[in-house]
Structure 1
Amino acid sequence: MFAGYKRLILMVVLSLPLSVMAAEGMVTIKSNYSTEATADKLEAVLEEKGMTVMNRINHAEGAKKAGLELRSTEVVIFGNPKVGTPLMQCAQSVAIDLPQKALIWEDSEGVVWLGYNDPEYLKQRHDIEGCDEVIEKVKGALENFAKAATE
């Protein structure tokens, strides 16, 4: 009986698009919009909330210029020293993961996703201790930005 459940779970996991199984430490949210519209919405909400959008990279456009094909893939780089500095004060090595980045991509099924680094993963990666309030603040902000861009 247990083997039957195990086999069923394995079949379900293997039938999921690869993009649903996010990379370690990455939070992914399905978007109701195209890649471009999701990135546009994200930029707008970030600016509205006082974040600085430092760059927007269209990887599919770069691939096209190189004579290659890539499904729609964009990265939005953003931050705010009032948020990032306290995190770096907790563990300066986290600066390698800042400013924040959001990846927006279309998977092989035509579904658009928004992903970002999970602050809990950054906490583990950089052995951040005693800064739970800062981590929670960053976590809440990222969740809100992602929700506003994808719903």
Structure 2
Amino acid sequence: MRETRHSSLGVAHDEECDWRKVSAEQPSSQRMILFGNPALGTTFIAANPSSGLDWPVRVLVYQTKDGSANVAHNDFDWIARRHGISNRETEFKMAIEVIESVTSSVRQ
């Protein structure tokens, strides 16, 4: 596990390995990475246990057709609405700042 300033990197899933197993052509190079911040994740899960479906945060790092790198992750406002969490605005704002900090280097 790799610790960063705001989160822990727990798992990096190699999608390419799965593509090879089924002899399918992989559309692009991609990695699914899970990031966890126990203090934040616990707050959301305490507000609604079903939010555990979205914690830790999954980030997809992938290569676009032009060869550049990009990242994708679920929108935190959507996660809040999905799980009916309306009383954790400060924590969701912090989660947004953390994920933007983590993913900003890929977008440069």
Pair in the same fold by TM > 0.5: yes
Query: What SS does structure 1 have at the residue aligned with 2:10?
Result: strand
The answer for the alignment partner of 1:39 in structure 2 is none
Residue 104 of structure 1, CA deviation: 0.8
CA RMSD of aligned residues (A): 1.9
TM-score of the pair, normalised by structure 1: 0.63
2:80 to 83, 98, 123: 123
Residue 42 (structure 2) aligns with: 85
How far apart are the structure 1 equivalents of 2:21 and 2:77? 37
Matched length: 107
Q: Distance in 1 between matches of 2:92 and 2:6?
A: 19
Q: Quote the Cα distance in structure 1 between the aligned partners of 2:73 and 2:49.
A: 20
Match of 2:104 in 1: 147
Task: Report if aligned partners of 1:102, 1:114 keep a CA contact under 8 Å in 2.
Answer: yes
Higher strand share: 2
Match of residue 107 from structure 1: 64
What residue ranges of structure 1 are gaps of 5+ in the alignment?
Answer: 1-42
- In 1, Cα distance between equivalents of 2:79 and 2:6: 23
Q: Which has the higher helix share?
A: 1
* SS of aligned partner of 2:66: coil
**Amino acid across the alignment from 1:69:** E
Check conservation: 1:60, 1:69, Cα contact below 8 A. no
Structure 2: unaligned runs, 5 residues or longer: none
Identity in percent: 20
| Contact kept? 2:6, 2:98, Cα under 8 Å | no
Q: Is the 8 A contact 1:74 1:104 kept in 2?
A: yes
Aligned to 1:62: 18
2:69, 2:106 within 8 Å by CA — same for their partners in 1? no
Q: CA deviation at 1:83?
A: 1.5
Larger RCO: 1 or 2 (CA < 8 Å, sep 6+): 1
Structure possessing the higher radius of gyration over alpha carbons: 1
